[in-house]
């Protein structure tokens, strides 16, 4: 499979169809892989794909990450289904144009939840919970895909909410709050959760605003709660569930549980799942004349 991807990447670079191929390469440790930017056709041999390829690469397509400053006119990117959902969502939000991107889709059987859980194979003990029930193992939007693309029914809402969300929702409100108070005690506001997110697109994040300062930058309870709750709210209806925020947290805080819960709310209220349509706008920035709620009329 990776041979076909490498060959296509080589062709694209040789023909000058793309300026760069963003993919995965071996990391500095056997359990890890790392994002790589390939500019020369002879370097495509460095590209790999296996269940250690956790990173959501579309974050590099977000203009916040200097994407527009690199002078790339056309970018090829290797994407597993969940990453391609992120790309589709970026396009739907006008953060990216479809014709600027060449999507090299990969068939995916799931990825490990954390590199340290990699033991040479993928199994129920180390498969990320986002991969359970995934409906984009065969990606939905690609320019190149090695092999046949079977028809996949994606009409039912994507149900991959981690069972941790249900566990937390069953708790009494005060106990749930106590859980977050304890967990958020560890947060020192490094913003890894923000920086790995493909959808955090603001040029200046609200937490970096100083005149006025909307969110206290210090990592005390007020500063931490207001940051994480704001982050969760800003991603409602937009989060494509890659789980990178939790994976990236250096203090082991499962910050994506908020996003997963909000995903459930959006699905229940609007039957909407982000990252499947290039045109559909997410529910919080659009309206329908035939809305089932009548407050709009």
Partner 1 sequence: MKTATLNKSDIGKCIDLLLQADLRVIAPRLQPQVDEDGPDALEVLTFTEVKSGEDHQVGEGLLPLNGVKEFLFAKHEPLFAYEKRGKKIEIIPVHHEYPQTVIIGVRPCDAASIASLESVFSDANAGFEDPFFTERRSRTTFITYSCTAPDSSCFCTSVELSPDSAKGSDLHLTEIGDGRLHVEVITKAGEAVAKQLQDLLEGEGDQAAREKAGAEVTEKLTRIRDSAPIMEWLMDTANFDDEMWQRLGEKCIGCGACTFVCPTCHCFDIVDENKGSKGYRVKFWDSCQFDHFTLHASGHNPRDWQYKRYRNRFNCKFKIYPEKFETPGCVGCGRCIRACPVNLDITEYMAEVAHKAANPNAMKADPDFE
Give the CA angle between residues 9, 149, 96 to the nearest 5°: 55
- Minimum CB–partner distance for residue 154 and partner 1 (Å): 23
Q: Among 53, 76, 101, 128, which residue interacts with partner 1 (rule: CB under 8 A)?
A: 128
Choices 101-109, 113-121, 269-277, 283-291; region in contact with partner 1 by CB under 8 A: 113-121
117 touches partner 1 (CB under 8 A)? yes
230 touches partner 1 (CB under 8 A)? no
126 touches partner 1 (CB under 8 A)? yes
Residues 6 or more apart whose Cβ sits within 8 Å of residue 79: 57, 58, 87, 103, 104, 105, 106, 139, 142
Say how far apart CA 89 and CA 87 lie, in whole Å.
Answer: 5
Say how far apart CA 22 and CA 179 lie, in whole Å.
Answer: 38
189 touches partner 1 (CB under 8 A)? yes
Is 229 or 278 the residue whose CB approaches partner 1 more closely?
229
28 touches partner 1 (CB under 8 A)? yes
Is the sign of the CA dihedral 271, 95, 240, 5 positive or negative? positive
214 touches partner 1 (CB under 8 A)? no
89 touches partner 1 (CB under 8 A)? no
- Minimum CB–partner distance for residue 216 and partner 1 (Å): 6
x/- binding map, residues 239-268, to partner 1, per CB under 8 A? ----xx-xxx-xxx-x--x-----------
Residues 6 or more apart whose Cβ sits within 8 Å of residue 44: 6, 7, 9, 10, 13, 21, 38
Say how far apart CA 141 and CA 82 lie, in whole Å.
Answer: 11
Residues 6 or more apart whose Cβ sits within 8 Å of residue 38: 9, 13, 20, 21, 22, 23, 44, 46, 47
225 touches partner 1 (CB under 8 A)? no
Cβ distance 207 to 227 under 8 Å?
Answer: yes
Q: In 3D, which of 34, 7, 4, 36 has the Cα closest to residue 20?
A: 36
Say how far apart CA 19 and CA 7 lie, in whole Å.
Answer: 16
Q: Among 4, 35, 107, 280, which residue interacts with partner 1 (rule: CB under 8 A)?
A: 35
- Minimum CB–partner distance for residue 218 and partner 1 (Å): 4
Cβ distance 189 to 219 under 8 Å?
Answer: yes
x/- binding map, residues 41-80, to partner 1, per CB under 8 A? --------------x---xx----xx--x-----------
Q: Which residues bind partner 1 (CB under 8 A)?
A: 27-37, 39-40, 55, 59-60, 65-66, 69, 113-114, 116-117, 124-129, 162-164, 167-168, 179, 182-183, 186, 188-192, 194-196, 208, 210, 213, 216-220, 223, 243-244, 246-248, 250-252, 254, 257
């Amino acid at each position: 499979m990776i041979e076909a991807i490498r060959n296509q990447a080589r062709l694209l670079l040789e023909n000058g169809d793309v300026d760069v191929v963003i993919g995965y390469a071996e990391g500095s440790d056997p359990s890890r892989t790392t994002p790589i930017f390939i500019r020369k056709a002879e370097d495509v041999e460095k590209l790999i794909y296996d269940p250690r390829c956790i990173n959501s690469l579309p974050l590099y397509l977000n203009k916040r990450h200097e994407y527009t400053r690199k002078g790339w006119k056309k970018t090829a990117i290797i994407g597993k289904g969940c990453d391609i959902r992120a790309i589709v969502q970026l396009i739907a939000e006008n953060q990216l144009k479809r014709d600027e991107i060449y999507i090299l889709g990969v068939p995916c059987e799931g990825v490990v939840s954390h590199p340290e859980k990699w033991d040479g194979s993928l199994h129920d003990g180390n498969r990320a919970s986002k991969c359970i029930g995934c409906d984009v193992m065969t990606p939905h939007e690609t320019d190149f895909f090695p092999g046949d693309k079977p028809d996949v029914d994606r009409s039912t809402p994507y149900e991959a909410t981690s069972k941790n969300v249900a566990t937390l929702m069953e708790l009494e409100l005060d106990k749930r709050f106590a859980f977050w108070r304890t967990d958020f005690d560890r947060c020192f506001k490094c913003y890894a959760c923000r920086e790995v997110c493909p959808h955090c697109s603001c040029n200046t994040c609200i937490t970096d605003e100083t005149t006025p300062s909307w969110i206290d930058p210090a990592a005390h309870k007020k500063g931490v709660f207001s940051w994480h709750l704001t982050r969760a709210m800003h991603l409602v209806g937009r989060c494509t569930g890659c789980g990178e925020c939790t994976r990236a947290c250096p203090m082991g805080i499962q910050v994506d549980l908020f996003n997963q819960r909000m995903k459930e709310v959006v699905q229940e209220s609007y039957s909407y799942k982000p990252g499947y349509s290039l045109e559909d706008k997410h529910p919080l920035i659009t309206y329908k004349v035939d809305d089932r709620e009548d407050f709009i009329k």
